[in-house]
């Protein structure tokens, strides 16, 4: 190698090392966001979207691409729908499924008095009167079957019913599908009106017959959620199911209707909580995702679908385990966030981890080996320093194993001391895995010089059903002891500055922060709570999904003879404000009807009346999340500004 070439080589090496920098809020909003839309019609490519945040327009515009599975070439396309199979058109091309809003109830003043069309008033006679981030307007999502090409020949499958399909607020096209016979439609709805919709999680799968116009309930024997119906090529129906009404975080199992028998494929596996699933290409297996030990992995289960649909299967008291043996296909410190589909021996998925946003990967169906096939953010991350992450285990006071994720700053030096943040997860029953958030981004937090302690406290999927359920009706109990045990254990390390500890969190994590503010025995120097529940009584009186409150608290606050409910309401953070003495920043969305803005207002007012340093960050046009780019960047800047001021 010549001297000149060698010097040039050293220059590029040193430039590459020099160019690496730490993540900042501004850089986080340069990260492109991949959404896999599915396999192309001919299954030769993956159709996906890439959203690029644009601060100037305050939007995240998308472009669409075709990723060829053989050549790995990428082509930009204008109309992704032209490349995707249209699952809403029947296979014989005669009918189309669609949804439309249908006005069923008068709500506004002009509905009642048409001549008063400038009035601004809403009227309600029952709950719920609002949901998630929208007020009820008297309209309901209905499914329509339209004959092609005769648009006037149109049938409302929910005619006269004040039911919704898709289910609000997050249901989509997966809530209604064609039956393989092409003469029937399977759809999901909550088949009751008014108050019960706020009190129950009971959704069912319904089968509508186009010829007879009759509807039957396929899951009337189940009292909880039934969701995401999907057929394989032989006509075997699979779906997701929770057993108990009112419990939105019950163990979610994978069910098939084989012949006339309903078979639970995952019931015998205590740690399995199915997040999403898809049939294999040959219809003999189902691929699904589930949390385990702080990650989300891909699994498969072999299905016995040898019986023709509609024929009776000989029942046995216990399903043969060999038929429903579950295989974990992937392993590693990452999350499988979605299943795109199978082509040949490869299953295509999306994957992320604490240091990297979503990209598309191929999983070998035999070995589980993963190969990254999209590289949207590779160049960006090549310039960004990553953070070391590791699991840390401790034994709790009740002799349980508690796992925490620890995220260290880039270039971590164990001879130095670092301020440390206790990250309190939301939920309350949600897995704390290798997620990549554009707000609660642990990589970004650590890159500002903080060690992050993120405990998988009670209420987390992936550690068994009992661990997940130990949080209900015990808020402020074992899960709070888990949080404190995790931060206390980490504080023993010489590199943790135990005089500079903070606690942060959103939703249930926001509740955790409010509760810790009155019960932390001066461990923490600062707090940040986003969309947290501060006062249990006013929360019960203003939130919309009351099934959640009834399950988690055990009943209403006025049930004086209900010992469980009374014990729960006694743990309201508002009951411990007299102990508040630590700076706290409170963040809230004005259109958050799950945890209404009055919760944040009460907490902020209480803090200031106690002469506690506090800041209220209110986003009038945001819901439970912060979605608009400029709002989100303000969120980030204020978040780290507060930590710099108080920690």
Q: How many residues are present in the chain?
A: 647
Considering the candidates 285, 290, 507, 512, report the single residue annotated as catalytic: 507
Active-site residue, 574 included: no
SS3 string of 462-484? CCCHHHHHCCCCCCCCHHHHHHH
| Pair type for strands 526-530 and 584-589 | parallel
Q: Three-state DSSP class for 550?
A: helix
Given a contact cutoff of 8 angstroms between Cβ atoms, the answer to whether 646 and 613 are in contact is yes
Q: Three-state DSSP class for 351?
A: strand
User: Checking phi first, is residue 228 left (phi over 0); if not, alpha (psi -120 to 50) or beta?
Assistant: left
Active-site residue, 624 included: yes
Place of tokens 């800047």: 637
CA–CA gap between residue 159 and residue 144 (Å, rounded) = 9
Question: What is the DSSP code string of 256-290?
Answer: EEETTEEEESSTT-TT--EEEEEE-TTSSEEEEEE
Active-site residue, 204 included: no
Task: Tell me which residue of 372, 217, 353 sits closest to 297, measured CA to CA.
Answer: 353
Task: Tell me which residue of 59, 26, 22 sits closest to 636, measured CA to CA.
Answer: 26
Considering the candidates 131, 443, 520, 624, report the single residue annotated as catalytic: 624
Q: Sign of torsion, CA 243 245 247 249?
A: positive
Task: Tell me which residue of 128, 54, 119, 182 sits closest to 549, measured CA to CA.
Answer: 128
CA–CA gap between residue 406 and residue 458 (Å, rounded) = 17
**Hey, which residues does 67 pair with through a beta bridge?**
46, 74
Quote the tokens at residue 565. 């409910």
Residues involved in catalysis: 507, 592, 624
């Amino acid at each position: 190698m010549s001297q000149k070439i060698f010097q040039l080589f050293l220059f590029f090496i040193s430039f590459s090392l020099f160019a690496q920098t730490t993540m900042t809020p501004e850089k986080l909003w340069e990260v492109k966001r991949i959404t896999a839309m599915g396999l192309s019609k001919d299954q030769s490519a993956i159709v996906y979207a890439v959203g690029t945040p644009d601060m100037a327009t305050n939007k995240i515009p998308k472009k669409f691409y075709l990723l060829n599975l053989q050549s790995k070439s990428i082509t930009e396309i204008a109309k992704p729908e032209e490349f995707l199979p249209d699952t809403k058109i029947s296979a014989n091309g005669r009918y189309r499924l669609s949804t439309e809003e249908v006005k069923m109830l008068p709500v506004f003043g002009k509905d009642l008095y048409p001549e008063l069309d400038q009035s601004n008033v809403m009227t309600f006679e029952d709950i719920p009167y609002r949901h998630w981030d929208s007020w009820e307007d008297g309209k309901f999502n209905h499914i329509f079957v339209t004959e092609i090409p005769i648009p006037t020949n149109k049938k409302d499958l929910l005619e006269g019913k004040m039911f919704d399909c898709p289910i609000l607020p997050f249901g989509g096209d997966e809530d209604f599908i064609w039956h393989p016979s092409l003469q029937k439609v399977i759809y999901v709805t909550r088949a009751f009106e008014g108050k019960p919709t706020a009190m129950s999680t009971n959704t069912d799968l319904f089968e509508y017959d186009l010829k007879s116009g009759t509807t039957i309930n396929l899951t009337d024997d189940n009292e909880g959620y039934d969701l995401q119906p999907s057929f394989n090529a032989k006509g075997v129906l699979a779906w997701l199911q929770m057993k108990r009404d009112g419990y939105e975080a019950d163990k979610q199992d994978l069910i098939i209707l084989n012949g006339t028998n309903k078979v639970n494929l995952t019931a015998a596996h205590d740690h399995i909580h199915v997040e999403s699933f898809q049939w294999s290409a040959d219809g003999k297996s189902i691929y699904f995702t589930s949390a385990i030990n702080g990650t989300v992995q891909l699994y498969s289960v072999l299905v016995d679908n040898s019986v023709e649909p509609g024929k009776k299967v000989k029942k046995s008291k216990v399903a043969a385990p060999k038929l429903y043996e579950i295989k974990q296909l992937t392993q590693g410190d990452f999350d499988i966030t979605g299943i795109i589909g199978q082509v040949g021996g490869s299953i295509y998925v999306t994957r992320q981890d604490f240091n990297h946003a979503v990209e598309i990967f191929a999983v070998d169906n035999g070995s589980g080996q993963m190969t990254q096939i999209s590289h949207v953010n590779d160049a960006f991350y090549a310039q960004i320093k990553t953070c070391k992450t590791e699991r840390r285990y401790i034994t709790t006071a009740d002799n349980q194993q508690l796992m925490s994720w620890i995220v260290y700053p880039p270039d971590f030096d164990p001879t130095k001391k670092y301020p440390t943040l206790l990250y309190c997860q939301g939920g309350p029953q949600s897995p704390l895995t290798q997620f990549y958030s554009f707000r609660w981004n642990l990589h970004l937090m650590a890159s500002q010089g903080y060690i992050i302690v993120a405990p998988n406290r009670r209420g987390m999927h992936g550690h068994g059903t009992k661990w997940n359920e130990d949080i209900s009706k015990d808020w402020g109990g074992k899960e709070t002891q888990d949080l404190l045990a995790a931060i206390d254990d980490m504080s023993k390390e010489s590199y943790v500055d135990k005089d500079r500890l903070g606690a942060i969190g959103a939703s249930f994590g926001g509740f955790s922060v409010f509760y810790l503010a009155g019960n932390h025995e001066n461990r923490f120097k600062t707090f940040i709570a986003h969309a947290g529940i501060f006062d249990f009584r006013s929360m019960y009186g203003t939130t919309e999904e009351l099934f959640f409150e009834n399950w988690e608290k055990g009943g209403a606050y006025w049930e004086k003879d209900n010992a469980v409910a009374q014990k729960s309401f006694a743990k309201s953070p508002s009951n411990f404000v007299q102990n508040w003495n630590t700076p706290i920043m409170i963040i809230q969305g004005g259109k958050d009807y799950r945890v209404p803005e009055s919760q944040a207002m009460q907490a902020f007012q209480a803090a200031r009346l106690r002469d506690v340093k506090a800041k209220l960050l209110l986003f009038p046009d945001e819901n439970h999340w912060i979605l608009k780019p400029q709002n989100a960047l303000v969120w980030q800047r204020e978040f780290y500004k507060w930590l710099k001021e108080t920690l």
